[in-house]
Amino acid sequence: MPSIIPASALGKNGTVAPSNRIVVGAIGIGPRGRRDLGCFLKQPDVQFVAIADVQEARRETVRKMANRHYGNDDCYKTRDMFEVLGRDDIDAVLIATGDHWHALATILAAKAGKDVYCEKPCSMTIRESQELADTVNRYARVFQAGTQRRNVDNFRFAAGLARSGKLGKIRAVHASILPLAESYNWLPAEPEPGIEVVDWNRWLGPAPWRPYNNKYVQGRWRGYYDFHGGAGLPEWGAHTVDLCQWAAGMDGTTPVEFEADGSTINARYANGVKLVMRLAGFKGQGNWVVPGTCPVRFEGDDGWVETADFGKIAAEPASLLEGKPAEEMAGTDPIKHVRNFLDCVKSREKPAANEDVTRRGHIVSHAAAIAWRLGHKVHFDPVTETFIDDKEANRMSSRARRAPWHA
């Protein structure tokens, strides 16, 4: 009898042949991770095959999501990420755990030979930012941080104006941030679930031990020092500081000094350009012109441009807006960012938010938070990525990881 080969196996009828598909697994998928995963599933050259999550409810939700998309029952679920990292058929992983796992999970994935799309912030400290980039480069992996605004049209347009010289010489770039705060408290202890329901020890991972409370695993870990780096500054700074670095042409360096003035942190690059990190305008703070979350502003001798989520752009002179994008895409939408990552997985080129720009953008956020904690101006060497003559600041640049978790 002749063999009947399905059209999907040959790449016909609009499908992609298996040899051209990128096989993807995921580690730690909650609400934001499912938004990312939805974008991966929309890509015809992606085959999503496995979810690792320490919470049974979340891994089952993702398993059903994938199986519903493909019309089968093939998605594998496990609470052990090493089962996903150990599979030879998986090319890339989506990492969307809590922040305290991002860097270490990325490092382990790179060592396992996987390309990585990792949600932000990607590190808890300056040292983790360095370790992540060093490891990705050493193992020649493709890495994309989930700072998707680098691939959202209005932010690209605004940064392009600054980089093109149309604003004149850049004098200052402004990044919106959330109120800075961190807590060293513990939530009240609650009975720990069975390991198959929630693997609490694995959820903590490299973070110091503390008793279980359900709020942590439901996303209420933000604001606690052990789980949320940089006093919360990288929460938005991973996006807005990153965009300022890009617009100012500073992806390859960092500011040389940082000083907090209340809720505002002022930084200065070696060439004199100022980086101002100031509160977002939820209650009118910051004097932002454009409404929306994550606003940024770029100022030069000949004009300025400001933009935020929801696609609005303002500029002076108004002629700068000629050719601005018509599409008002949500700044939170990762669809183009995911596509950029997948294209680079195939080409082996560096994506828009690769490990090197992520390293320096995150270091800026962490250094700014350290200046805020210390309450005095700090001086930073962009070459050695250390504070100058400031032992206390340098001690804050890293944290110990709980055994046995190490890079």
- pLDDT at res. 327: 84
- pLDDT at res. 13: 53
Mean pLDDT of 143-172: 98
- pLDDT at res. 133: 98
- pLDDT at res. 173: 98
Mean pLDDT of 238-244: 98
Mean pLDDT of 180-204: 97
Cα 357 to Cα 12: distance, rounded to the nearest angstrom:
39
- pLDDT at res. 2: 47
The β-bridge partners of 94 are 26, 117
Mean pLDDT of 232-236: 96
Mean pLDDT of 134-146: 98
Report which secondary-structure segment, H or E, holds 9. Answer: helix 7-10
Cα 386 to Cα 221: distance, rounded to the nearest angstrom:
29
Mean pLDDT of 39-62: 98
286-289 long-range contacts (CB < 8 A, ≥24 apart) are 286/176, 288/176, 289/314
Let me know: does 123 contact 103? Beta carbons within 8 Å.
yes
Cα 261 to Cα 253: distance, rounded to the nearest angstrom:
23
Instruction: Give Cα separations from 135 to 92, 114, 132, 328, 381 (angstroms).
Output: 16, 12, 5, 36, 22
Preceding omega of 255 cis (within 30 degrees of 0): no
Count the helices and strands in the chain (H runs, E runs): 13, 15
Instruction: Give Cα separations from 199 to 2, 133, 193, 341 (angstroms).
Output: 50, 29, 8, 31
| pLDDT band at residue 14 under the 50/70/90 scheme | low
Number of alpha carbons in the 13 Å side-chain half-sphere of residue 351: 31
Cα 295 to Cα 10: distance, rounded to the nearest angstrom:
46
Number of alpha carbons in the 13 Å side-chain half-sphere of residue 263: 13
- pLDDT at res. 287: 83
Q: What is the pTM of this model?
A: 0.94
Mean pLDDT of 297-326: 96
- pLDDT at res. 5: 46
Neighbours of 326 (CB within 10 A): 7
- pLDDT one-digit tens code per residue, 56-84: 999 999 999 999 999 999 999 999 999 99
Mean pLDDT of 334-338: 98
Look up residue 177 and give its two tokens.
């941030």
Mean pLDDT of 217-238: 97
Cα 185 to Cα 198: distance, rounded to the nearest angstrom:
22
Does the pLDDT of residue 163 top 80, yes or no? yes
Closest Cα to residue 383, out of 259, 254, 273?
254
| pLDDT band at residue 284 under the 50/70/90 scheme | low
Cα 275 to Cα 296: distance, rounded to the nearest angstrom:
11
- pLDDT at res. 19: 78
| pLDDT band at residue 286 under the 50/70/90 scheme | confident
Mean pLDDT of 187-199: 98
On average, the pLDDT of the chain sits at: 95
- The percentage of residues in the chain with a pLDDT greater than 90, rounded to a whole number, is 91
Q: Range with the lowest mean pLDDT among 11-25, 26-40, 331-345? A: 11-25
Closest Cα to residue 296, out of 119, 161, 155?
155
The SS3 call for residue 368 is: helix
